[in-house]
Amino acid sequence: MGEKSKFVAMLFAAGLWFAATPGQAETVLRIGVVSRTIFYLPAWTAEQQGFFKAEGIEPKIEIYNDAHKIFTDLQAGTIQIGISSIETVILDGYKGGTMRLVAGTAQRPPHFIIAQPEIKTLADLKGKTIGVVSMHEGTTFFIKDIAKAAGFALGDVKVEAVGGSPARQKLLKEKKIDAGLQPYPLSYEAEAAGFTNLGPIARLVPDYQFTSVMVDNKWASQNRPLMVGFLRALRKGTDYMFAHPDSSAELGAKELQTSPANAKRALEDTARMDVIARDLSLTDLSLKRVFEIMQQADVMKSEAAYDRSKIVDDSYLAGSRK
């Protein structure tokens, strides 16, 4: 046996050959997403198209149906990356915590106000039960805008935390809630089933950073190449999703558990309404809107001043663009 063959044999024996071979070893990243909705299709696309694998990443995407649990699992290190609503990260940043937003996904809410068939106007929601993802973030903070537009007080509706969009869809069908904010394609399915569509929430809240990529910066700073590679793959997934609507609709139908026609319509509406930031950027306009609504809801101190540096680390996204 030659010297090279002996060396290779030693590597195999030591269990090191696989890790030492470029393009073979992949690092598992656990990624928490809230639900099966269009915001997460770029991640599923990046996985399907091998963009994560090309960066040495094996993604394990888990659907939580609970945005707050994603935040607590990030803190605990159970997962490494979250793609979720951002309010808990803002609160953490202003308390001196290490959670940070590193990229944007949905920069405005693509939800429609879906209600039971007998509810015909926003005013009819008075006294009704509205289901939201969590009492801490996301669509919860839009209920005040709905109440104001409908002409009644926030206390005139009952707000219940019931989980993500699919959970709200199920509870609407079971008549356990009277209304909920539903993103497409679930809103299309609800309309087809006879539920009332009271219009887009974007009409009341036009700019709002609804979902973003978030990390514990202690972990991310120690794994910078991995984090940069993840964002590079996610950008490629986003680009591919928009550039190949037919194949993306097929994947969307599978992951969103809807029809290909509904998935394609969702992609078209996403592009038309500019819902997803194609370059994954986080704009101050969308971030400030979240900050201001949190202040209006008395979740954030009214005297606090918006400070991007407390909640965003742009360095990873900048690195992914090089």
Give the CATH number for residue 163: 3.40.190.10
Residue after which a domain boundary falls, among 203, 219, 236? 203
User: Given the DSSP bridges, would you call strands 129-132 and 158-161 parallel, antiparallel or unpaired?
Assistant: parallel
How far is 30 from 43, CA to CA, in rounded Å? 12
Q: pTM for this structure?
A: 0.81
End-to-end CA distance of the chain: 45
Q: Of 138, 32, 28, 27, give the one whose Cα is nearest residue 81.
A: 32
| The residue type at 152 | F
Residue 224: both structure tokens together? 């910078």
Q: Note whether 99 and 90 are within 8 A (CB).
A: no
Instruction: Tokens for 271, please give them.
Output: 């592009």
Q: 66: part of which helix (H) or strand (E)?
A: none
Note down the domain range covering 75: 24-108+209-320
Q: What pLDDT, on a 0 to 100 scale, did the predictor assign at position 66?
A: 86
d(CA 267, CA 156): 36
Q: Are residues 128 and 268 in the same domain?
A: no
Q: Of 144, 171, 203, which residue sits at a domain end?
A: 203
Is the same domain home to 86 and 221?
Answer: yes
Measured torsion, CA atoms of residues 193, 151, 275, 165, in degrees rounded to the nearest 10: -40
**182 and 215 part of one domain:** no
Domain boundary among 164, 186, 203: 203
Q: Find, among 99, 172, 175, 177, the residue nearest to 137 by Cα.
A: 99
- Report residue 138's pLDDT band, with 50, 70 and 90 as the boundaries: low
Mean model confidence pLDDT for the chain: 90
Lookup: tokens for 43: 């991640």
CB 57 within 8 A of CB 232: no
Mean pLDDT is lowest, of 46-60, 110-124, 159-173, for: 159-173
Question: Tokens representing 274?
Answer: 């500019």
- Taking only the tens place, the pLDDT of each residue in 264-316 is 999 999 998 889 999 999 999 999 999 998 898 888 999 999 999 999 999 99
115 and 67 both lie in a single domain: no
Q: Is 222 exposed, middle or buried (0-12, 13-18, 19+ CB in 10 A)?
A: exposed
Residue 70: inside a domain: yes
Domain count across the chain: 2
